[in-house]
A = this chain, B = another copy of it.
Amino acid sequence: MLFRQLFDKESSTYTYLIASGFGREALIIDPVQEHTDTYLGLLEQLDIKLVRAIDTHTHADHITALGDLRDATSCVTIMGEFTQAECVSEQVSEGDKITIEGITLEALYTPGHTDESFSFYLSDTKMKAVFTGDVLLIRGSGRTDFQGGDPYKSYDSIVNKLFTLGDETLVYPAHDYKGMTCSSIREERLHNPRLAGKTAEQYAEIMRSLNLPNPKMMDIAVPANLVCGKAN
């Protein structure tokens, strides 16, 4: 399997490029617009063909590359069914399968950071992994105070859905700010300080007390992402 985790330093965003091998179909998760040329170069060098581009949710801290990648490669753009980004070609629901040559992702509805956030689960003989967007981060979780966020829904998504995927499942989030690149369900279940041993009410209290400023890119990124980064 070809698996490439790519990092945008400006927004600390992780993007994932996945294919079952050289010369085959590929998909990308949470691509960042300003790295579009890097992705296109890498697709060419790895001799893989981009056929699906997925955003886990409407990002508030960077502009998506979904539109530019569709223009450049004719890939299908995908988000969850509750997105307001009508620009995407396909909207997926809980349990839907996204399939390319040799790779299948299962869509999991995981609201809480936003009301339209999905995670994507890869269960392969070589690798079990979940791409959690911003709902579950490494030893943390995405804020729940805007874009339809809700700490109780976040807790439910993480504890009652993601934590049931099996301890060895790797966790690949859309962000990390401390130099971590991946985790596992086991680690987050046992050691995520916001969640381990916490009730939903305790988690909600932690999330309500964060008092974070809005992302500096929010006023630009959200409207841009509702049109797949292709605003005029």
Residues of A bordering B, CB below 8 Å: 4-9, 22, 35, 38, 45-46, 178-182, 186-187, 190-191
Can you give 15 contacting A-B residue pairs, CB < 8 Å?
Answer: A4-B180, A4-B182, A5-B181, A6-B180, A6-B181, A7-B7, A7-B179, A7-B180, A7-B181, A9-B9, A9-B179, A35-B179, A38-B178, A45-B187, A46-B187
User: Nearest-CB distance from A190 to chain B (Å)?
Assistant: 7
Give the number of times this chain occurs in the complex, counting copies.
2
Which residues of B are found within 8 Å of A9, using beta-carbon distances? 9, 179
* 18 other A-B residue contacts (CB within 8 Å) besides A22-B186, A45-B187: A4-B180, A4-B181, A4-B182, A5-B181, A6-B179, A6-B180, A6-B181, A7-B7, A7-B179, A7-B180, A7-B181, A8-B179, A9-B9, A9-B179, A38-B178, A38-B179, A46-B187, A181-B181
A45 to B191 Cα, complex, angstroms: 7
A6 to B178 Cα, complex, angstroms: 9
User: Nearest-CB distance from A102 to chain B (Å)?
Assistant: 15
A187 to B191 Cα, complex, angstroms: 37
A9 to B176 Cα, complex, angstroms: 11
Q: Most chain-B CB neighbours within 10 Å: which of A9, A179, A180, A182?
A: A179
Q: Most chain-B CB neighbours within 10 Å: which of A181, A186, A191?
A: A181
User: Nearest-CB distance from A18 to chain B (Å)?
Assistant: 13
A8 to B191 Cα, complex, angstroms: 22
User: Nearest-CB distance from A126 to chain B (Å)?
Assistant: 8
User: Nearest-CB distance from A20 to chain B (Å)?
Assistant: 13
Give the nearest-CB partner of A12 in chain B. Answer: B9
Which residues of B are found within 8 Å of A191, using beta-carbon distances? 45
A187 to B46 Cα, complex, angstroms: 7
Which residues of B are found within 8 Å of A190, using beta-carbon distances? 45
A4 to B181 Cα, complex, angstroms: 7
Which residues of B are found within 8 Å of A5, using beta-carbon distances? 181-182
Which residues of B are found within 8 Å of A4, using beta-carbon distances? 180-182
Which residues of B are found within 8 Å of A7, using beta-carbon distances? 7, 179-181
